[in-house]
Every structure is written in C-alpha cells, then in structure tokens.
Amino acid sequence: MAETTNPRPLILYSDSGPEPPFPLCMEGAVISGFGRGSKELGIPTANLPVDAAIAPWIADVRSGVYFGWASLALPATHPDSTASTSASTNHSNEGSSSTPQATASQFQIYPMVMSIGYNPFYKNTVRSAEVHVLHSFGADFYDAPMRLLILGFVRDEKDYNGLDALIEDIRIDCDVARRSLARRAWTPIEGVVDGAKGTFDGAWLVR
C-alpha cells in the first residue's frame, strides 16, 4: 500500500474552539485490550468498552483517530495520583505547554489521542476504542474510571505495509493532538495554557 509522505498539518481546526458534532463524551473503566504489546512500542492504549448504551453516538461515528482530553480517577496508591497532594501538574511526556490539572476532583485531566475502529493493520472484527494518554505514567491503571471529551477528528484509520509506518503516523497524531489542544479555547478551565486558564468547559471531566 502506497503511503503518502505529504507533510501533515500539525494544528487542526480554528483557534476559536471545537465545532459540532464535538464535543463527544464517553466513559468507562479501562479494560484489557488485544494484548499486542502496544506498551512495548511506546504507545500503550487504554481500552474502553464500546458501549452504545453509554455513548449512543459511537455506533454511527466515523472510524478513525480523534483527539481530546481524558480524565482518570486513579487509586490513591497509584504513583501518578495527586489525591493526597494539593498541587498537581500533569506534565505531558514530551513537553506540551498544555498542562491541565484537577486538584478538587478525584479525576485528573490529561491530553489524549485515540483510535475508534477496526484497526485495519490488524484486521479486527470488532470495533475498539483505545486511548493513548499523553503522559508518562509510573504504573498501569487497568480498571480505573476514565472519561473522554473528544474534541476533533484527526484522520481515517489506515492499513500499513509495516509496523514502523503505523507507529510513525501515531507519533504524528500525538503531535497533532498536543498542538491542537494547547490553545485556550481548546483547554478546559481546569487547565493551564501558557500561564493562562483555558476557556473550554470541561466540567464533565472532573465532576
């Protein structure tokens, strides 16, 4: 399959914020995925059950890559839990300027990029929803409650000649997500961009 080498735009949509049908919301407890060793590839994905009873939009949504915010209720014993500290800053693993935090809530907010679909590279027969959180965690968080505020579509899912090409595209997806989210109208009020509060209503993530 011929892969395009065209440069991809790194910032999507206008600075003025998400457009309909976004935001789309989804929540669930993190489940085990396909066990393909995504973690070993440096792109672990927290899988959520695809449940149309909880997120009715998911049955009809276009398969592909999306970006937005994830919130996680980590157990107090988790190394990244800020449950017992007063100040938290969720530093992105690759130095995003966008570092939302949630101190009053048990939910901590992180930027994320995700895939919804059949993973044509692996030819899955069931639709999966998997989230790569843009943060370097000190431990796994299976079973943790996770909420998603999906703010934009990045690209259709594709098949690839090899794993390297898939990983390269996912790396770019991560960049696109970070940069697109690091704008005030895309960042929740609970978060901080360039020293200023975000202006996006992300209350659902932390309530």
Residue type, 55: A
163 close to 81: Cβ distance less than 8 angstroms: no
Distance CA 207, CA 193 (A): 21
**From 20-28, 30-38, 52-60, 100-108, span contacting ligand ADP (CB under 6 A):** 30-38
Note whether 33 binds ligand ADP by CB under 6 A: yes
Start-to-end CA distance of the chain, whole Å, equals: 45
* 53-112 binders of ligand RBF (CB under 6 A): 65
Token pair for 11:
């910032």
In the list ligand ADP, Mg ion, ligand RBF, none, the entry touching 140 (Cβ below 5 to 8 angstroms by class) is ligand ADP
Note whether 45 binds Mg ion by CB under 5 A: yes
Residues 6+ apart with CB under 8 A from 107: 71, 72, 73, 145, 147, 205, 206
Min dist CB 151 to ligand ADP, Å, is 18
Question: Checking DSSP bridges between strand 64-73 and strand 192-193, what pairing results, if any?
Answer: unpaired
Note whether 67 binds ligand ADP by CB under 6 A: no
Note whether 122 binds ligand ADP by CB under 6 A: no
Q: 57 vs 122, which CB is nearer to ligand RBF?
A: 122
Residue 130 catalytic?
yes
User: How many other CB atoms are there within 10 angstroms of residue 75's CB atom?
Assistant: 12
Note whether 165 binds ligand RBF by CB under 6 A: no
Interface residue with ligand ADP, options 12, 24, 26, 46 (CB under 6 A): 46
Note whether 51 binds ligand RBF by CB under 6 A: no
Distance CA 144, CA 45 (A): 13
Applying CB under 5 A, the residues found at the interface with Mg ion are: 33, 45, 47, 130
